Structure 1
Amino acid sequence: MEHQIFSKFVRFIEARLSPGGEFGLHLTAGLALLVAAAAVFGDLAEDVMGKEAITVLDMQVAHWFHAHAFEPLTSFMLGVSLAHTGYGMVVLMAALGWYFWRVQARYWLLALLVAVPSGALLNVALKYHFQRARPAFDEPLVSLMTYSFPSGHTSAATLFYGLLASYLVIARPHWHVRLGTALGCALMVLLVALSRVYLGAHYLSDVLAAMAESVAWLAVCITAISTLRRRREARTL
């Protein structure tokens, strides 16, 4: 009896770590990433709402960047930020969506159409839940009346470039191309996050929480759509 239970447990673990199958390695990796990212977001939210040490660091970083702002860097950061507003993200999504359509990557197109807009709605809901005020300066570089935690620009960038990196890592056979595209996408997310902190629109913890939030949501969306694809493929066999 114990041997049978152990054998079933081993088969279960092997199935969860198998690259194939409806509920194999992709589901295990997705759930692990979801749990880890959600835990990071939860810790950041708890520390921010409890006014822990990170809020002191937030103020120090915000005032340092504000005191050291200079041209042409300020204009460059404004450009980066503007490119990832709602209108900018629509243009980026349209371009990537057209590419997915052209190469017949239907499930990736579905992931794009689901993950980024729904992630934006999730971000708005979280902003109104936490209702954290934005950084305040006597002479601000940007003035916004919405809430600060977590960063919407950083969230959208993480969702978009995270999905793009996931696709390229899977679709490109050469490891150096995979590594280069993954690093490029990661740098774009960091650049958008930096622009929001530099411009005084967000605190450091705002952009970190946005990354964690969006990684968790992206894991949900990609894993769900990947599972859907595998289930449909299994039915056709």
Structure 2
Amino acid sequence: MITVLQTQPPLFLLSILLLVVIVVLWALQYVVIRYGKRAFMLARRYWCKFEQYFGVDRRLTHLKNSQPKLYQFFWQRLHVEHFHGLSLTILFLLMVYIAAVFVGLVEDVVTSDAIVALDLLVSQQMSLLNEAGVIHFFILITSLASTPITILVVLLTAIICWVVRQHYIIIGLLIAVIGSTVFTFLSKMIFERARPIDILLYESTYSFPSGHATVTIALYGFLAYIAIRFSQHFATQVRIVMATILLTVLIGLSRILLNEHYLSDVLGGYLVGSLWLLVAISVTEWLTTKDKINWQIPWSNKQAYLVGFSIISVLIGTLIYAGIYQFPLLA
């Protein structure tokens, strides 16, 4: 194994990258689980001291008396007791920021900025791994975000939501998947960027942005959000987040390693997926405030078994899809 890594520097760098990602995520998970709640309580305590020191209450009272409409607007945006306040404000600001970053990335790609040179360099290095055994592993990983598996995951998730009588969650799920898919398709048609020359698995669509990267964030990110909302344990919620981040990194890396996409294609897909994920979460939280969704429902054994059956079905479906459709393309 060491000899292989020494004779193939890209494989060595890939191994180091994966190791660093796993170690960082594990360390971050440990720190958040151990100190997360304590840090949150400490932040709230310092905020209260900040309010007292700067006399925030007096300033707000003065603003309320002099500019009641302006006060009402800002108070509604910063209120922490309901979703329409600080939560929605943060989500909206994140959406604006992600959209701005995406526009900047598009400009760099269109004007052939430095990132395009980096794209070509990374693509050339990945071409050296075409015969490596790691290719087969990443074909399985990339199949998790393929169209057939995406449809399977959406159908199984919708069935679970229907069985537990939380039908309105499906609205957010469809917004995340359909919205991001349509946006990605239109972007491909607009930019018409050719895929890398040394592509391993033939694709008939254009390259920018990566549809697999998009659906990874939009779909699996929304599934993680659902699992977090239903979970009652902080440690479990943190582990769900870290596992989702790892899956996101692996699928994005698979698109680059297989030379299906350039690095900037994957980054663009991440941004598009994140944007639609935030839209879907916002709509779902709004439906929650309207008492359309109950996250505190008790789960029966049959419902839990259904979730386990769905996960196993997706894994088996991924193996079948990769074996029947993906692996033959290597020949």
With the length of structure 1 as denominator, give the TM-score of the two structures.
Answer: 0.88
CA distance in structure 2 between the aligned counterparts of 1:6 and 1:171, rounded to whole angstroms: 41
Residues 1:170 and 2:214 aligned together: no
What pairs up with 1:22-171 in 2 under 5 angstroms? 23-137=84-198, 140-171=199-230
The counterpart of 1:182, out of the listed 231, 236, 241, is 241
CA distance in structure 1 between the aligned counterparts of 2:73 and 2:66, rounded to whole angstroms: 11
- Structure 2 contact 63–71 (Cα < 8 Å) conserved: no
Cα RMSD between the aligned structures?
Answer: 2.1
CA distance in structure 2 between the aligned counterparts of 1:147 and 1:57, rounded to whole angstroms: 19
Offset of 1:224 from its aligned partner?
2.8
Offset of 1:124 from its aligned partner?
0.2
What pairs up with 1:195-206 in 2 under 5 angstroms? 195-206=254-265
Q: Provide the secondary structure at the position in 2 that maps to 1:104.
A: coil
Q: Provide the secondary structure at the position in 2 that maps to 1:135.
A: coil
* Code of the aligned partner of 1:57: L
* Code of the aligned partner of 1:200: N
Q: Provide the secondary structure at the position in 2 that maps to 1:144.
A: coil
* Code of the aligned partner of 1:226: E
Offset of 1:96 from its aligned partner?
2.0
Offset of 1:59 from its aligned partner?
0.6
Aligned to 2:310: none
Aligned to 1:216: 275
* Code of the aligned partner of 1:198: L
Offset of 1:231 from its aligned partner?
4.3
Offset of 1:111 from its aligned partner?
0.8
CA distance in structure 1 between the aligned counterparts of 2:259 and 2:131, rounded to whole angstroms: 13
Offset of 1:7 from its aligned partner?
5.3
CA distance in structure 1 between the aligned counterparts of 2:162 and 2:78, rounded to whole angstroms: 31
CA distance in structure 2 between the aligned counterparts of 1:82 and 1:18, rounded to whole angstroms: 43
Q: Is there any run of 5+ residues in structure 2 with no aligned partner, and where?
A: 1-61, 293-331
CA distance in structure 2 between the aligned counterparts of 1:24 and 1:97, rounded to whole angstroms: 29
Residues 1:18 and 2:18 aligned together: no
Count of paired positions:
231
CA distance in structure 2 between the aligned counterparts of 1:2 and 1:14, rounded to whole angstroms: 11
Overall identity of the aligned pairs, in %: 30
- Structure 1 contact 40–209 (Cα < 8 Å) conserved: no
* Code of the aligned partner of 2:162: W
Segment drifting more, 41-50 vs 24-33: 24-33
Offset of 1:122 from its aligned partner?
1.2
* Code of the aligned partner of 2:145: H
The counterpart of 1:192, out of the listed 242, 251, 257, is 251
Q: Which is greater in Rg?
A: 2
* Code of the aligned partner of 1:182: V
CA distance in structure 2 between the aligned counterparts of 1:124 and 1:90, rounded to whole angstroms: 16
Q: Provide the secondary structure at the position in 1 that maps to 2:112.
A: coil
Q: Provide the secondary structure at the position in 1 that maps to 2:84.
A: coil
CA distance in structure 2 between the aligned counterparts of 1:209 and 1:133, rounded to whole angstroms: 15
CA distance in structure 1 between the aligned counterparts of 2:235 and 2:116, rounded to whole angstroms: 39
Flag the structure with more relative contact order, 1 or 2, with Cα contacts below 8 A and sequence separation at least 6. 1
Q: Deviations over 1:13-72 (max 9, x none)?
A: 332233444622332122012111111111111100010000001111111111134443
Offset of 1:228 from its aligned partner?
4.0
CA distance in structure 2 between the aligned counterparts of 1:89 and 1:35, rounded to whole angstroms: 27
With the length of structure 2 as denominator, give the TM-score of the two structures.
Answer: 0.65
* Code of the aligned partner of 1:199: L
CA distance in structure 2 between the aligned counterparts of 1:23 and 1:5, rounded to whole angstroms: 24
Q: Provide the secondary structure at the position in 1 that maps to 2:168.
A: helix
